[in-house]
Amino acid sequence: MKDTTLISVVTPIYNGSLFLKKAYECLCRQTYRHWQWVVVDDGSTDDTRRLMRELSDSDRRVKYTWQHNSGSAKQPRDRAVFQSTGELILPFDIDDRIADDYLQKMLDRLNETDADIVYPQMLFTDIVTGNIKSTLPVEGFDISSVYKGSDLVKETMPEWRIGCNGGLYRRAMWVNMSWLEEHDPIWTYSDEVDERCYLMKAQRVAFSKAQYFYIVHQDSITNKPSYKLFHLLKNNTQLAELIKQKFGEESEEYRLANQKVLYGWRSMMAYYLQHYEELFDADGQIQHDLSKAYAQINVSLLPLKDRIHFLYFCNEHVLQTFMALKYSPKWLKEKLMQHFASEKYRFNVIRKRTEEQTKQQISNSYAEAERKPHVEPYAISMFCGNTASGGLVDRLRGAVSLYAACKVANRPFRLYFTHPFQLTDYLIPNEYDWRIEADEVSFAPSQTQPVILDTQTDTAWERSWQREQFTKALHEGNGVQLHFYSNAQFCYDDDFSGLFHELFKPSAQLHESIDHILKQIGGPYLTISARFCNLLNDFNEETYSDPLSKTEQEQLIAACLSQVKRIHQQNSHLPIIICSDSITFASEAQSLDYVKIIPGNVSHIGNDTVRYYQYYEKTFLDFYIISQAQQVFLLRGNAMHNSGFPYAAARVGKRPYSIVEF
């Protein structure tokens, strides 16, 4: 390589504004000057977008792209590679650092060895103290030699003995080398599986003394309880399959990969038991993933010490019980309750846990708020961004429920809906004026009383209990402003349609769009809703239904289309409007000549923070179009979400509603 060889430094970024300046300064201090920085923003909601645009406008070496969130670092990193133009690729994470001579040393080593890949010295550095906690390659590893890449695979299992962050790659090592995009969805740790693909292809791999500082900090995903940590289980089993295909079932590499699956299962089981209260939303998916990983372990390939320990508790449930006794006896008690009294468990355990979580999330809003000279004792339905509030229907049914209770208690009702948009952009008061300005809302503890109530079971008893709790709060909270954080649904037992229309009507802009859609349809119609969440891997939402494989996705889409065709056969004189969170399914359905879709952006207000009118308009259009259909259907099959959206819309319009199970 020449001294003018262009090195493309590629960086995925998500809400990295705090680290951006230092990362850029790292590159500017490089003694080797021939670099470009290609940054792909994976849907940041902080100041990253503005700062990166300013930077790319002022420095032609910086190339910046923003995209909707993909939920992984791999996808935006790969996109950055394909947008780059350098002969060499160097991945660089936004919160890490490199020595000033890093690029020069890495290039020198590549030229010296004619390597396909050069790996650095990786130093794990505490962000607070700056102390080096550990280094890779491990002590005793010969960094002076040049290796065949496939020989190094063993050095990455069951634990990493070499450091791969910040490696320097010939472009061919990266382009068209993705294992996962061909076979499986992209997981949080998919890049680690790809790294083995690069090693298997590389004929020559060398190591440099160039220093890459991997910053260890508390904001890292690896230090926060998150379902995405359990993607490690999926990646370990994918890696084992990859190793088996390349090296064979009798190889040392496969034995080590199998051992890695065991160690991953054991560590994630312990982590789950220690943090299950913080991971309760993902409990079912986590247990499924743990069981699936356990089933992949080949006991006969384990080392003797692991085999003895493993065989002693050869049943997964027995082993899980013994681990629970060690890490979390409380988990056992809850699991028994969940098994024998599931509704009681959700109401008494999950509901209380969710409400405590909400209480903690809103606490900062009230902790240091100052008193206001005067506040009106309104009962306010609160959706202002200080806690997770769910989707549109969760919010609207909570607001309508409170309004119903306020009418009975003769208490003035208000709706404070400001996040992620002002509700009045789409819905405005109809018969009752529920609007309230920010300066009318007090968060001072002496002037307000938060009321937190979460819905967990769709039972008449719980709806009755919710009504009692609201009524009690409205009567006891005299003289203070009551802030209700709730998705209560007892309004469904009342005249939900009448209550809804007393509160809401479309804004002028939304009304115009609704009329436009109805004119395009041109007459009576049916609607079919389908909520896939993440199943088709085209809608990033913080739910816990992982993407299906490509084959399973195709099968699910085909099954849904079969139901659409069946419904059409029974109602052949009516067009069908598809309302779905999957653009993939909607596009497939639109190929049928009797199917239409409502144009616009698919969004979920509980997951997005974008602030412009058109971004969320389709959500409201879908709602009102469903509410005026001749008949409303919801498709349910193979882990699809039991969406309350079409049900609420059908109730607003008093339309027939059916769930199609298949």
The single residue listed with the structure tokens 């319009």 is: 653
Name the pairing type of β-strands 62-67 and 132-136.
Answer: unpaired
Q: Look at residue 574 and tell me whether its pLDDT is greater than 70.
A: yes
The proportion of the chain whose per-residue pLDDT surpasses 70, expressed as a percent, equals 95
- Going by pLDDT thresholds of 50, 70 and 90, the confidence category of residue 14 is very high
pLDDT of residue 617: 96
User: Higher-confidence residue: 96 or 610?
Assistant: 96
Pair 415, 434: CB distance under 8 Å: yes
- CA separation for the pair 208, 167 (Å, rounded): 9
pLDDT of residue 274: 94
Pair 274, 285: CB distance under 8 Å: no
Q: What is the pLDDT of residues 29-56, one digit of tens each?
A: 999 999 999 999 998 888 999 999 999 9
Average pLDDT rounded to a whole number, residues 462-484? 95
Pair 196, 96: CB distance under 8 Å: no
Q: What is the DSSP string of 575-591?
A: -EEEEES-HHHHHHHHT
- Going by pLDDT thresholds of 50, 70 and 90, the confidence category of residue 534 is confident
Residue 8 CA to its chain's centroid (Å): 29
- Cβ count near 231 (within 10 Å): 21
Look up residue 39 and give its DSSP letter: E
- CA separation for the pair 120, 101 (Å, rounded): 12
Q: Look at residue 104 and tell me whether its pLDDT is greater than 90.
A: yes
**Identity of the amino acid at 260:** K
The answer for residues whose C-beta is within 8 angstroms of residue 370's C-beta and 6 or more apart is: 444
- Going by pLDDT thresholds of 50, 70 and 90, the confidence category of residue 545 is low
Q: Look at residue 543 and tell me whether its pLDDT is greater than 60.
A: no
Which H or E run includes 126? strand 117-126
- CA separation for the pair 275, 337 (Å, rounded): 18
Average pLDDT rounded to a whole number, residues 62-70? 89
First to last CA, the chain: 60
Tokens (6 digits) for 53: 């645009």
Q: In what order do the strands lie in the sheet with 448-453?
A: 413-417, 379-383, 481-486, 448-453
Counting other chains too, the contacts that 609-616 makes at CB distance below 8 Å and 24 or more residues apart are 609/45, 609/420, 610/45, 610/420, 611/420, 611/421, 613/421, 613/425, 613/509, 616/420, 616/421, 616/426
Beta-bridge partners for 416: 382
Which H or E run includes 261? helix 252-275
Tokens (6 digits) for 379: 């009962």
- CA separation for the pair 370, 382 (Å, rounded): 19
Tokens (6 digits) for 248: 């064979």
- CA separation for the pair 533, 582 (Å, rounded): 8
Q: What is the DSSP string of 194-216?
A: HHHHHHHH-S-EEEEEEEEEEEE
- Going by pLDDT thresholds of 50, 70 and 90, the confidence category of residue 225 is confident
pLDDT of residue 175: 77
- CA separation for the pair 599, 579 (Å, rounded): 10
Nearest Cα neighbor of 609 from 389, 281, 333 is 389
pLDDT of residue 172: 83
Name the pairing type of β-strands 526-530 and 576-580.
Answer: parallel
Q: Look at residue 180 and tell me whether its pLDDT is greater than 90.
A: no
Q: Look at residue 599 and tell me whether its pLDDT is greater than 80.
A: yes
- Going by pLDDT thresholds of 50, 70 and 90, the confidence category of residue 178 is low
Scanning 299-431, the segments in alpha helix (DSSP H) are 304-312, 316-327, 329-340, 342-345, 351-367, 392-409
Q: What is the pLDDT of residues 408-441, one digit of tens each?
A: 999 999 999 999 999 999 999 999 999 999 999 9
Q: Look at residue 382 and tell me whether its pLDDT is greater than 90.
A: yes
Half-sphere exposure of 293 (CA within 13 A, CB side): 29
- CA separation for the pair 380, 395 (Å, rounded): 12
Beta-bridge partners for 126: 216
Q: Look at residue 24 and tell me whether its pLDDT is greater than 90.
A: yes
Nearest Cα neighbor of 180 from 113, 241, 111 is 241
- CA separation for the pair 578, 585 (Å, rounded): 9
Helix (H, G, I), strand (E, B) or coil at 36: strand
Name the pairing type of β-strands 35-42 and 7-13.
Answer: parallel
Q: Look at residue 500 and tell me whether its pLDDT is greater than 60.
A: yes
Mean pLDDT over all residues of the chain?
92
User: Higher-confidence residue: 425 or 4?
Assistant: 425
- Going by pLDDT thresholds of 50, 70 and 90, the confidence category of residue 305 is confident
Burial of 339: CB neighbours in 10 Å, binned 0-12, 13-18, 19+: exposed
Q: Which whole-number Å values give the CA distances from 406 to 187, 452, 580, in the listed order?
A: 47, 16, 34
Of 26-35, 272-281, 553-562, which range is least confident? Answer: 272-281
Q: Look at residue 606 and tell me whether its pLDDT is greater than 80.
A: no
The single residue listed with the structure tokens 């056992």 is: 332
pLDDT of residue 137: 97
pLDDT of residue 638: 80
Residue 572 phi/psi, 5° resolution?
A: -65, -15
Pair 427, 504: CB distance under 8 Å: yes
Task: Measure the CA angle with vertex 211, ends 205 and 212; round to 5°.
Answer: 85
Helix (H, G, I), strand (E, B) or coil at 493: helix
Q: Is the pTM of this model over 0.75?
A: yes
Of 70-74, 98-102, 632-636, which range is least confident? Answer: 70-74
Residue 452 phi/psi, 5° resolution?
A: -115, 125
Cα Rg of the chain, angstroms: 28
Q: What is the pLDDT of residues 306-347, one digit of tens each?
A: 888 776 667 788 888 889 999 999 999 999 999 999 999 999
User: Higher-confidence residue: 353 or 314?
Assistant: 353
Nearest Cα neighbor of 400 from 499, 504, 495 is 499
Q: What is the pLDDT of residues 274-290, one digit of tens each?
A: 999 999 888 988 999 99
- CA separation for the pair 554, 410 (Å, rounded): 54
Q: Look at residue 179 and tell me whether its pLDDT is greater than 70.
A: no
- Cβ count near 451 (within 10 Å): 19
